[in-house]
Amino acid sequence: MTGSNAETPDILGRAKPILVTGTTGRHGGSGRAVAQSLIAKGFRVRALVRKMDERAEAVAADGAELALGDYADYASLLRALDGVSSAYFCYPVGAGIAEAAGLFATAGKETGLRQIVDLSLRSTAPDSATPQGRAQWVAEKIFEWAGFSGTHLRIAAFFMENLLKNDAASVRDSGQIANAFGDAALSWVSAVDVGRLAAALIANPSLVDERVLVAPGTVHLTYPQIAAEISDVLGRRIGYVELSTDDWRQALIREAEARGEPNIRGADHLAAQAKALRARIPMPVSDVWERLTGAAPTSLRTFVDAHRADFTPL
Ligand SMILES: NC(=O)c1ccc[n+]([C@@H]2O[C@H](COP(=O)([O-])OP(=O)(O)OC[C@H]3O[C@@H](n4cnc5c(N)ncnc54)[C@H](OP(=O)(O)O)[C@@H]3O)[C@@H](O)[C@H]2O)c1
């Protein structure tokens, strides 16, 4: 689809807040990077947060105003979207995105929202191999049917932050990474760079014409190569162990439960992706990041170095 982003920049009147969701994220945390980038560009940002905790305080310290709310609480969405023309919509990898998008879009229609940049993924399709890809496709359609302009930002890469969520504990505790990707060449990007790109799309609605922007990663790396890179940065050997998709799925479910964040959808999504990528579906890389944001993307070495403490035993 083309031409959907012909909105005039008046939707971004600097006095109006831009609603940014997902600023307190514990996975990619892309929303915080969106908020920081928009604030740095001089925009007023309102962050939707579920709790007034230390993560929300950090977002306020960045310069955002806070709106207490939840995708499941319609009245809170009406309050958060009041006076807002443009929004960033981010939902975690987990069940419930289509319902959240429905409530968000309905509240937005009520309050005069005009543009949404939503974070999505390459496997978004009605016949996607992953349940998250199918649900995310419904969310995208809801925003289109509701008549919003904006971009579905489909990331065709893994977030480097997955290494913190899925692998850092085993790197710390047993000096290894274990999953079902084997030696498939995966493409990677930092969620901070994703946030910067989303902010660029919000700040400049005519940056791309397409309704769907597929943004490939910045670098190709297999998991054995990642283990070698982490070993190099940390100065100790980190091994790689290949698991079957079933064993890995069970391990992901157990680990999420142990963290107090049960997420069967997340495990199903990752296991389905590993199955597809082991069949050698190619993952592209591209220079879209530098071209559209003007900033060089984060390298894996810089990322690991910045998070050295997460990979290091106490
Ligand atoms: N990870 C990857 O490799 C990858 C690759 C490509 C695309 N993606 C896409 O990236 C997206 C996830 O982005 P991310 O990693 O930046 O997100 P994230 O860090 O997981 O953050 C999710 C945010 O959503 C908030 N949230 C959850 N439920 C909510 C609710 N009911 N109401 C209001 N807020 C709620 C969370 O708040 P709390 O902190 O309060 O829970 C958190 O701030 C997904 O759409 C996924 O498809 C991920």
From atom 40 of ligand 1, which residue's Cα is the shortest distance away? 50
The answer to whether residue 2 scores a pLDDT higher than 70 is: no
pLDDT tens digit string along 183-216? 999 999 999 999 999 999 999 999 999 999 999 9
pLDDT digits (tens, 9 = 90+) for 46-98: 999 999 999 999 999 999 999 999 999 999 999 999 999 999 999 999 999 99
pLDDT, tens digit, 9 for 90 and up, residues 128-165: 999 999 999 999 999 999 999 999 999 999 999 999 99
Distance 209 CA to ligand 1 centre (A): 26
Q: Which of 159, 192, 197 for a ligand 1 pocket mutation test, highest count of atoms within 8 Å of Cβ?
A: 159
Question: In the structure encoding, which two tokens stand for residue 303, read together?
Answer: 């990322």
* Interatomic CA distance for residues 102 and 116, integer angstroms: 13
**Residue that has been written with the tokens 């597809």 in this structure:** 276
Instruction: Indicate if ligand 1 lies below 6 Å from the C-beta of 190.
Output: no
Report, as an integer, the average pLDDT of 172-182. 97
Model confidence at 281, pLDDT cuts 50, 70, 90, reads: confident
pLDDT at 10 over 60: no
Token pair of 272 as six digits = 């389905």
Phi, psi of 152 (to 5 degrees): -90, 110
Residue 254 pLDDT exceeds 70 = yes
Q: In angstroms, what is the span from residue 119 Cα to ligand 1's centroid?
A: 9
What are the distances in angstroms from CA 47 to CA 1, 21, 245? Answer: 30, 6, 37
Q: Ligand 1, from 27, 122, 134, 283: best to mutate by most atoms within 8 Å of Cβ?
A: 27
**Helix locations, the chain, DSSP H:** 30-40, 54-61, 74-81, 97-111, 131-145, 162, 168-174, 191-203, 223-234, 245-258, 264-278, 288-293, 300-306
Give the pairing of strands 219-221 and 158-159.
Answer: unpaired
**Residue 14 confidence class, pLDDT cut points 50, 70, 90:** confident
The pLDDT confidence band at residue 3, using thresholds 50, 70 and 90, is very low
| Sequence-distant (≥ 6) Cβ neighbours of residue 287 within 8 angstroms | none
Entry pTM:
0.95
pLDDT at site 11: 64
Residue 48's alpha-carbon distances to 18, 40, 56, in angstroms, are 10, 19, 9
Please, which residues have CB within 8 angstroms of residue 166's CB and are 6 or more apart in sequence? 179, 252, 255, 270
Chain mean pLDDT for the chain: 94
Say yes or no to pLDDT of 17 above 50: yes
Band (248; pLDDT cuts 50, 70, 90): very high
At CA 22, angle to CA 199 and CA 151, rounded to 5? Answer: 40
